Amino acid sequence: MELDYSKSADFRELQPLRIPAGWSVGWNTLSTTSKVEDGDFGGSSIFHATNSGRRFMIDVEFRPEFDPSGQFYMTVSYQPWPRTEAGRRKHDEPVQFDAKAEVVHATETPVYSDLISQLETWIGRCTTWVREGH
């Protein structure tokens, strides 16, 4: 028996986003039917995506959780390349976002449509942005 996922509320209400190739979405609980004023947003992180090739991570939180007066907090982080003693990039090590990650952008907004606009802008920017030379 084949299930029709398109009728699932989780799928139907999922926020459409323009995400180019190269991104891995860890989780996305952004919903077109959720409303800030109804206290529908919560969780320590409501959206999380990484682009390992470009070494960027985008995380969105809503704080305080489930509070109609809360705000969305978006953080864009960059993980510098590990380097050899000679200063060359080490290409063979997997990306692990750690304490060396640099916050390159942080914003907050109580407006859902502003969040979506900023999220798509930064996903697009980080898809082509080269932070470090060789």
Burial 27-48 (b: 16+ CB within 10 A, else e): eebbbeebebeebebbeeebbb
**Model pLDDT for residues 74-109, shown as the tens digit of each residue:** 999 999 988 889 888 887 778 889 999 999 999 999
What's the CA gap between 24 and 46, in Å, rounded?
A: 15
pTM comes to: 0.88
Whether the pLDDT of residue 16 is over 80: the answer is: yes
**Model pLDDT for residues 117-134, shown as the tens digit of each residue:** 999 999 999 999 988 765
Instruction: Count Cβ atoms within 10 A of the Cβ of residue 95 and give its class: 0-12 exposed, 13-18 middle, 19 or more buried.
Output: middle
Taking Cα atoms as reference points, which of 131, 114, 117, 130 lies closest to residue 18? 117
Q: What is the pLDDT of residue 22?
A: 95
What's the CA gap between 125 and 134, in Å, rounded?
A: 20
